[in-house]
Amino acid sequence: MEYRQLGESNLKVSAITFGAWAIGGWMWGGAERKDALEAIRVSIDHGVTSIDTAPIYGQGLSEEIVGEAIKGQKRDQLQILTKFGMRWDLDKGTLAFKSKDNSGKDIDIYKYAGKESVIQECEDSLKRLGTDYIDLLQIHWADVTTPIEETYEAVLRLKEQGKIREAGVCNYNVEQTKAANSVVKLASNQVPFSMVERGIEKELVPYCIENKIGILAYSPLQRGILTGKIKPGHSFNEGDTREGNRFYQPENITRINAFLDELRPMAESKSATVAQLVIRWTIERPGITVALVGARDANQAIQNAKAINVKLSAEEIDYINERLYKLQLV
């Protein structure tokens, strides 16, 4: 595994980090707890020392599973990343969207990051994770009802108290990142980035490079479509929100698979899967520190971790990029 410093912080994380959204079940159509626990433990065995979760993933379930998985592990050799600012148990801030929990009950999700809420969420996360500190605490989505300065003053207090090691943001644009960074030096910004979703490269990546802020790229496999395993007519489990996603429209599935077919010979020449090639490409992009990759079972986790062994030459990266830039999605 490769380990990279997050910005100018003291935090070193594995270049491939375990993304724990799917194991919470919520919005992914269910998950098996036993498989999820095994996936995390096997990831750690293969050098993945960093795990990214959030309270909203399964309304606490993902954090609880992570907490159970890391029991008995050497805590100082792991980096636990979690978030705050999405409440399903309180109607403050702005309504983000309506959803259902894992039992099918209707819930309203609010974006809220008032000072008292940040502190309370941190305490709740510490309990669910079974730890006395969080390595990286991040706001999940911007809360327009609370000044960023107020939110990050609360985060700064938590850092001073030793309850968190470093502060980050998620889904923040350049202006929002600047505001938070003026209160507490940010280690990172976690944003969506993949071969087919590269919008951050225009403004955010240059800003983060210039200001020495790490970037955690989530959904680098675009929620599975860049594995090449999802074909037109794919059947999704109930509750899986990928079905209505733009990238999963039949024509886009066809176009993306045709593009991946062009990469397949390169992957095979390296005894790698297409997904492993995609993950390696992602962490080679300028400004990208980490690829967050989810796994629902041990086999997926092992395959993700082994992507670190793929090596790409400058010429091979150019070959991929040339074909990628010709890919047009509807």
DSSP code of residue 132: S
Question: Residue 166: how many CB atoms within 10 A of its CB?
Answer: 25
Burial 77-89 (b: 16+ CB within 10 A, else e): ebbbbbbbbbbbe
H/E run at residue 68: helix 61-69
Q: Answer whether 298's CB lies under 8 Å from 226's CB.
A: no
Q: Answer whether 203's CB lies under 8 Å from 151's CB.
A: no
- Sign of the torsion formed by the C-alpha atoms of 138, 144, 146 and 147: positive
Q: Answer whether 146's CB lies under 8 Å from 114's CB.
A: yes
Q: Is 172 a catalytic residue?
A: no
**Active-site choice (3, 57, 207, 248):** 57
Question: Residue 140: how many CB atoms within 10 A of its CB?
Answer: 23
Beta strands in the chain (DSSP E): 3-5, 12-14, 16-19, 50-52, 79-84, 86-87, 94-100, 106-111, 134-139, 164-170, 186-192, 214-218, 290-294
Rounded to whole angstroms, what are the CA distances from 311 to 15, 172, 192, 226, 269?
14, 31, 23, 18, 11
Q: What is the DSSP string of 227-264?
A: GT---TTPPPPTTBGGGGSGGGSHHHHHHHHHHHHHHH
Q: At what angle do helices 274-284 and 298-305 cross, to 10 degrees?
A: 50
Active site residues: 57
